[in-house]
Amino acid sequence: MSMRVARLHGRRDLRVGTEARPSAGAGDTLLRVRAVGICGSDLHWFEEGGIGDARLARPLVLGHEFTGISEEGVRFIADPAVPCEACDLCREGHSNLCERVRFAGHGSEDGALREMIAWPSRCLQPLPEGLDEVEAVMLEPLGVAIHAVDLAHIRPGMNVAVMGCGPIGLMAIQVARAAGACRVVATELAARAARVDAARRLGAEVVAAEEDPEGSWIRAALRGWADVSIEAAGEDAAVHAAVRATRPGGRVVVVGIPAGDRLSLSASVARRKGLTLAFARRMKPVYARALALVQSAHVTLAGLVSDRFALEDCAEAFSVAATRRGLKVVVEP
């Protein structure tokens, strides 16, 4: 039996072909893939042929935000990370930092941009009735946002700045509010109107990023400092603005992944303020919390999928996602 698969052969060289279907090994569940979200990290692979210090060594199937349905008809959201569960980090509760982790669509581990995938059953979370399978791909970015907010130590009454209103930034806005943030101010490029509008709809005040490189408009909007800033843009300018906008003794959580594997900031400002900088690595096992936030209406997924494509049109889907003008782009194998 064969299936259709999209493989990345080089920079912007995404080809759809036919391959043999996978079989489920011990501890795996065979899924028919229903929806795959295109993430910013996927775009690094697509545009740069790698991400950070990981480079494309062979044609790779991308896609780590995915839902699927089993042969028994059970719908799942997948955790794309498969930690070893045996190392010290895993045993200490830091499975997101496992050095032996397998991650869908990264390195040698093929992802979900194909019709079928076999994935470890322990990394699958059943979807509740009524939750749309396409919208449910947003649960993975929501998990990343939950982890970022955990690192930010947001408490009730705090003022929060979020740099970047892509899918993870939009999730961070909602999770910060659910955690008790009094006010959330977000930054985004004015030309990305869909993201600006979505951030406002989800409860943030929005400042044009290109007009506020020093974070002064954020401070004016808050009438003071941000207690915490979450950087979700992957740009030096966003990190710089976060450092400038955050109060002395505050925290800056860096979630965005930069092109070229380099970030810079004003060391003197960060040092004088005594800022704590935390770098977010993916997420911990938080899907139960993510689903609870959605089912209790503290977080909405509705309206956050802006573009939908068939697997055959995967290259076009990536080209659209690379403009970063919409919200979540989804491929439906």
What's the whole-number mean pLDDT along residues 203-224? 80
Average pLDDT, the chain: 95
Q: Answer yes or no: 44 catalytic.
A: yes
CA angle 241, 267, 276 (to 5 degrees): 75
pLDDT band, residue 212 (cuts 50/70/90): low
C-alpha span between 3 and 333 (Å, rounded): 10
What are the pLDDT digits (tens) for 215-249? 777 777 777 799 999 999 999 999 999 999 999 99
Interval 91-146: pLDDT, tens:
999 999 999 999 999 999 999 999 999 999 999 999 999 999 999 999 999 999 99
Residues 6+ apart with CB under 8 A from 239: 163, 231, 252, 254, 263, 264, 265
d(CA 8, CA 14): 4
Residue 39 has pLDDT above 90, yes or no: yes
Identify the residue whose tokens are 């076999």. Answer: 118
H/E segment holding residue 252: strand 246-254
How confident is residue 191, by pLDDT bands cut at 50, 70 and 90?
A: very high
Q: Which residues, at least 6 apart from 207, have a Cβ–Cβ distance to it below 8 Å?
A: 185, 186, 187, 217, 218, 221
Model confidence at 160, pLDDT cuts 50, 70, 90, reads: very high
The count of C-alpha atoms lying within 13 angstroms of the C-alpha of 327, restricted to the half-sphere facing its C-beta, is 21
Residues near 86 by beta carbon (within 8 Å), at least 6 away in sequence: none
Count of Cβ atoms closer than 10 Å to residue 83 Cβ? 23
What pTM was estimated for this model as a whole? 0.95
What tokens does 69 get?
């349905």
296 is catalytic: no
Over residues 19-31, the pLDDT tens digits come to 999 999 999 999 9
- If DSSP codes are grouped into helix, strand and coil, which group holds residue 284? coil
Token pair in block for residue 119: 């994935």
Which one of the listed residues 41, 64, 95, 240 is annotated catalytic? 41
> Taking residues 256-267, what's their average pLDDT?
87
Q: Give the C-alpha separation, 196 to 218, whole Å.
A: 15
Which domains are present in the chain?
A: 2-132+301-332 (3.90.180.10), 142-279 (3.40.50.720)
| C-alpha span between 209 and 234 (Å, rounded) | 13
On the question of pLDDT at 84 being above 70, the answer is yes
Which residue has 């199937």 as its token pair? 61
**Residue 217: predicted pLDDT:** 73
Whole-Å CA distances, 163 to 147, 169, 214, 218, 243: 16, 7, 12, 10, 11
Catalytic residue among 44, 64, 106, 147: 44
